[in-house]
Each structure stands twice: as structure tokens, then as C-alpha cells.
Amino acid sequence: MTKIVLVGCGKMGSALLAGWLDRGIDPVGVVVVEPSLPAVGGTVVASESAIPPGFVPDVVVLAVKPQVMAEALPPYARFKTAVFLSIAAGRPIAFFRGILGEAATIVRAMPNTPAAVRRGITVCCAGADVSADRRHLCQSLLEAVGEVGWLADEAMMDAVTAVSGSGPAYVFLLAEALAAAGVAQGLPDDLAARLARATVAGAGELLRQSEEAAEQLRRNVTSPGGTTAAALAVLMAEGGGMADLLREAVAAATRRGKELAG
């Protein structure tokens, strides 16, 4: 039986927990450290000191906010045999080793919010001493909420955060802006919002299920000289179109990630 300590059970932590339990992980092997959480499966305790004596985790999943990680982490250094799986944005492997010790086994992960509906994607980077078995354990836990990929170069995690970690917000902004554009053309607010939501969600599902690249799917919708082509002429304009804006946005998010990491 895999033994897990989940530190923090906010939106991402609770999504992971629900995914584990749905996949059949024995709740007897799960301890959740969260002061304000009702019974959700597994043993719920308010602090590390309340973890049952003799409970030795295989993995400690760190799901607290990055800004409180330095304060929350030190008590867990006693779990010398566990792999520490962090989903805290902006905190590098060196940060955890500075608190847990140089011998600590660390996997850093960047999930995203569609994990709440099991459509997330998580990218991981493992410390040099992480065994294949421990990588597999971390991957299996994260696959409970979506796809998982791996990076060899931790320096690329800021770009991952900018693309997939922050990416859902870009998509939600697209839906928001598309609805507002419909209202500007005279559509009722509620219908414009419904059209935008269903269009973004449906297009996303088509992209997920299709074997064709996004570029080809775009071409499939675009008749020469038609309405879509007229709109894309604006969105794809050189020097100010959507592609340029997204490049600037992802670059800005990547820079900010590096700044937050110190």
C-alpha cells in the first residue's frame, strides 16, 4: 500500500485527493494535513505533529501556497525515506534541499487548474538522485488528474508555468472577450456568454480528440474569402495579432516566474 502525506488541500490538493480515491488508492494510506478541512477520505490532521505515530510516507505531496512553503516545510524533514513532490509554482529544487537537506529526494511539478475536471497537464522535473521507481510513483499520482510530462532542464519550468500553468487564464480571457465582442454586435449578454463558453469548450474538446494539428483544424474552419478568413486577417495581423500578443504574454509570465524564484 502506498502511503501518502498530502500537505495542503486547497483546490489543487483536493483535486489530487479526489483523483487518488477515485483510482482506488486506499484511504487508510493517506494522511491530509489541513487545519480547516472536513473529513474527505483518509486521515485528516491539523498539523504535521498530529500525523499518527509510526506512519512513514512513501511520498509527501507539498500543495501549500509558495509564499508559506518556507514556514510549512521544516517539520517534514524527518521523513528521510520519502520522495517530496512539490506542486508549488516558482520554488526550485534547490529551495527544498536548503530546508529538507541536500540528501532529500525532490520532484518539482507544475500542474494546471483543469486538474479539477481531470483534464489537467502536469510537467515534472526530478532531482538528480530520484530513482526510476520514485519518478513512476510521482507520475502515477499526478496522472489521476490528467496528462504528465517530464523535463530534464529545470530552467525550463518557468516557461512551462507561463504556457500551461497560466494558460487556462488566457483561454478564459478569450471566452470573456469573445462574449463581449458578440454583445458589441448586438447579441444579448446571456446568449453571447453562452455562445462563447460553448464554442471555446467545444473547440477545445475537438482539439483534444483530433489527430490533426491546431493549425490544420484552423484551416478546416476557414473558407477562402469567408467570414472566418475576415476575422483571422485581424487576429493574425503582423505586428499586433494574437500570436504576437501571446508571445509577449508568455515571455512576461516567464520573466515573472524567474523573478519570483529569486
pLDDT in tens, 168-212: 999 999 999 999 999 999 999 999 999 999 999 999 999 999 999
In a shared domain, residues 106 and 199: no
Residue where one domain finishes, among candidates 160, 193, 210: 160
Which pTM does this prediction carry? 0.91
Instruction: Return the pLDDT at 40.
Output: 65
Residues contacting 208, CB < 8 A, separation 6+: 119
Among 22-26, 81-85, 202-206, 215-219, the minimum mean pLDDT is found in 22-26
In a shared domain, residues 151 and 48: yes
What total of structural domains would you count in the chain? 2
222 alpha-carbon distance from chain centroid: 32
Residue where one domain finishes, among candidates 160, 191, 208: 160
As a whole number, mean pLDDT of residues 34-53 equals 81
What pLDDT, in 10s, does the model give residues 89-112? 889 999 999 999 999 999 999 999
Look up the domain containing 196 and give its range. 167-261
122 alpha-carbon distance from chain centroid: 5
Q: H-helix or E-strand containing 223?
A: none
In a shared domain, residues 209 and 240: yes
pLDDT greater than 90 at residue 38? no
In a shared domain, residues 145 and 210: no
pLDDT greater than 70 at residue 39? no
C-alpha cell at 247: 508571445
What pLDDT, in 10s, does the model give residues 110-124? 999 999 999 999 999
Residue where one domain finishes, among candidates 160, 194, 216: 160
Q: Is the four-CA dihedral 135, 93, 106, 139 of positive or negative sign?
A: negative
In a shared domain, residues 114 and 51: yes
Instruction: Return the pLDDT at 37.
Output: 67
SS3 241: coil
